[in-house]
Amino acid sequence: MSHLLEVKNLDVKFNTDEGQITAVENVSLSVDQGEVLGIVGESGSGKSVTAKSIMQLNPGNTIYNDNAEIILDNENTLKFSSKNDLKKIRGGKVSMIFQEPMASFAPAIKIGNQMVEQLLIHKNINKDQAKSISIDMLNRVGIADAEKRFNQYAFELSGGMRQRAMIAMALSTMPKLLLADEPTTALDVTIQAQVINLIKDIIKEYQMGVIFITHDLGVIAQVADQVAVMYLGSVVEQGPVNEILKNPKHPYTKGLLQALPDINNLDAPLSPIPGNIPSPLDRPTGCVFRTRCPHHNPDGKDGKIEMKLIEVESGHWVDQCGIKCGKNGQ
């Protein structure tokens, strides 16, 4: 079966005044219909850049490598350049939900008008139909009084409600792929639980593929089927959610899990990952994690081991340097 989305060997570089920055290196991912791929990692790990590449939303100084492919519905979206083609992936087949719902709505345009506007661009329908689809969608995501909210501005809605409206807007064009970039990070836990349940229901109903980006492993455990752990632009570990969280192999994944305060185990000490994520300007050669790795093997420490994912169990891929380091640590 072919995948809904397949990203192959993606490199993303940015031309800046200080030189060329590698934001993403050799990332390959795939998402099936009705599947949630979770991408986790610290800030600066290239999660958002990867997702934005799918819609070609990265800024003008971005350079993609020539052999990279992003295949959506048998088309390589990286080669899209005409307005019509781009329209297909920006809001048509692919929709995106951003972290800060206040920043994603235009403040001076009513929510309803923004929803109608994008529907008119992507669907061959008239204004009244667009309005009824929008109100219907607002109802679906659990906004009470949808008709009234339709005529309000973003600032009149609370945080949770704005995020729901954002989701309604992203879904109203019936995309095949939904990119959710930290959609619950700005929300309170109680509202986060509501939004997670909502997203799960919607995936089930519409059978869309989802890329769910977050730095919160707890959220990943709740929504994802597959997980990719990213560090400094590279995927260091990848596999089914159960495998990754219960049987992590890479020292970075292990570190993230140990740094997380667990409410069910209050006696466990919080162990931070030492050091800071290096600047992408001086990205380490070889294994990108070696500067912070607690159990580096001598070859990995010197950067002699290339980054390469190896399948350790069926579907569970780990960077080859990380496998050795993970073993040394036990």
Residue with tokens 């590698």: 22
Q: Is 275 exposed, middle or buried (0-12, 13-18, 19+ CB in 10 A)?
A: exposed
Q: Binding residue for other proteins (CB under 8 A) from 73, 136, 205, 262? A: 262
When asked if residue 215 is in the footprint of other proteins (CB under 8 A), the reply is yes
Measure the CA–CA gap between 267 and 256, rounded to whole angstroms.
17
Q: Does residue 241 bind other proteins (CB under 8 A)?
A: yes
Q: Which is nearer to other proteins, 75 or 216 (CB)?
A: 216
- Nearby residues of 184 by Cβ (< 8 Å), 6 or more positions away: 163, 191, 192, 195, 196, 214, 216, 219
Select 127 or 274, whichever has its Cβ closest to other proteins.
274
Does the protein bind other proteins through residue 75 (CB under 8 A)?
no
Alpha-carbon distance of 171 to 194, in angstroms, equals 17
Of 10 and 157, the one with the shorter C-beta distance to other proteins is 157
What DSSP state is assigned to residue 324? H
Q: Which of 9, 61, 76, 276 binds other proteins (CB under 8 A)?
A: 276
Structure tokens at 29: 């991912």
C-beta closer to other proteins: residue 74 or 190: 190
43 binds other proteins (CB under 8 A): yes
Q: For residue 1, what are the contacts with CB-CB under 8 A and spacing of at least 6?
A: 32
- Of 174 and 257, nearer to other proteins (C-beta) is 257
Q: Binding of other proteins at residue 174 (CB under 8 A)?
A: no
Question: Is the distance from CB of 97 to CB of 181 less than 8 angstroms?
Answer: yes
Number of residues engaging other proteins in binding (CB under 8 A): 43
15: number of Cβ within 10 Å: 13
Q: Is 245 in the site for other proteins (CB under 8 A)?
A: yes
Q: Which is nearer to other proteins, 173 or 194 (CB)?
A: 194
Report the interface residues with other proteins, using CB under 8 A: 42-43, 158-161, 188-194, 196-197, 200, 215-219, 221-222, 224, 241-242, 245-246, 255-257, 259-263, 266, 270-273, 276-277
